[in-house]
């Protein structure tokens, strides 16, 4: 069994795969990672593991990670199942590396655009020949709400709510601007890629994926565990070497 760790700034995700099948998945705070990790190791016969992190790990958790079997710490030098043509590969986020790995694994021989709607919205494009060209990064929903509040004197800080095209109050106007704005951005990017690359498959993932999926006009695959699946694919790829 494979142990997959995705450690973000706010949450840490722990997953267990049997080959390519997800059999266990949980989310915890990074400070509680050590406890959750011990429980997982007690419950499953882990044979190999991979960790992807964008944040600092506390000392206790770091000690536990070093004890994991066949541990791979994902970085720019890790072997991946695609050709990376990003001009600055050492600055490419490990989360984006994992998403592209999932794309080439699940949609072989297709042009794939992966949209990760989280703190930021990232766009990653890989060709049907498994060549990663890059993408784009823009502010996510919460950043947009926060920017309106932080950089103005009187606008309130809001959370995601229902949206109308024409807001008839300040709060509804903010919702319309933020949510319709991000939807039009995503639809526009998809349309640009669709015109340039035929046979385009679009994957939407990330924390805001389910909310956004119902508002987008394009045919997309919405999958919340795409990053975890990509990390597992990278681990398998390295074990097969």
Catalytic residue among 6, 60, 75, 95: 95
Cross-strand partners of 13 = 6, 27
Classify residue 231 as exposed, middle or buried by CB count within 10 Å of its CB (0-12, 13-18, 19+). Answer: buried
Contact yes or no for 37/64 (Cβ under 8 A): yes
* 95 belongs to the catalytic site: yes
What is the rounded distance in angstroms from the CA atom of residue 134 to the CA atom of residue 168? 40
What is the rounded distance in angstroms from the CA atom of residue 8 to the CA atom of residue 95? 9
229: its two tokens = 């699946």
**How far, rounded to the nearest angstrom, does the alpha carbon of residue 129 sit from its chain's CA centroid?**
22
Active site residues: 95
């Amino acid at each position: 069994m494979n142990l997959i760790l995705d450690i973000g700034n706010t949450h840490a995700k722990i997953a267990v795969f049997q080959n390519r099948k997800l059999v266990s998945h949980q989310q915890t705070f990074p400070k509680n990672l050590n406890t959750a990790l011990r429980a997982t190791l007690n419950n499953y016969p882990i044979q190999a593991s991979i960790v992807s992190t964008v944040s600092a790990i506390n000392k206790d958790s770091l000690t536990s990670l070093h004890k994991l079997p066949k541990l791979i710490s994902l970085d720019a030098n890790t072997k991946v199942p695609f050709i990376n043509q990003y001009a600055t590969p050492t600055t490419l986020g490990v989360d984006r590396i994992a998403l592209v790995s999932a794309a080439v694994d699940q949609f072989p021989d297709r042009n794939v655009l992966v949209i990760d709607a989280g703190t930021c919205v990232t766009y990653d494009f890989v060709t049907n020949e498994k060549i990663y060209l890059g993408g784009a990064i823009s502010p996510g929903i919460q950043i947009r709400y926060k920017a309106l509040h932080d950089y103005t004197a009187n606008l309130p800080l809001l959370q995601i709510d229902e949206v109308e095209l024409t807001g008839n109050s300040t709060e509804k106007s903010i919702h319309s601007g933020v949510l319709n704005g991000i939807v039009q951005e995503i639809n526009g990017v998809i349309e640009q890629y669709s015109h340039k690359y035929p046979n385009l498959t679009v994957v939407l993932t990330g924390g805001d994926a389910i909310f956004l999926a119902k508002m987008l006009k394009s045919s997309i695959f919405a999958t919340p565990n795409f990053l975890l699946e990509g990390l597992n694919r990278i681990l398998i790829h390295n074990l097969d070497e």
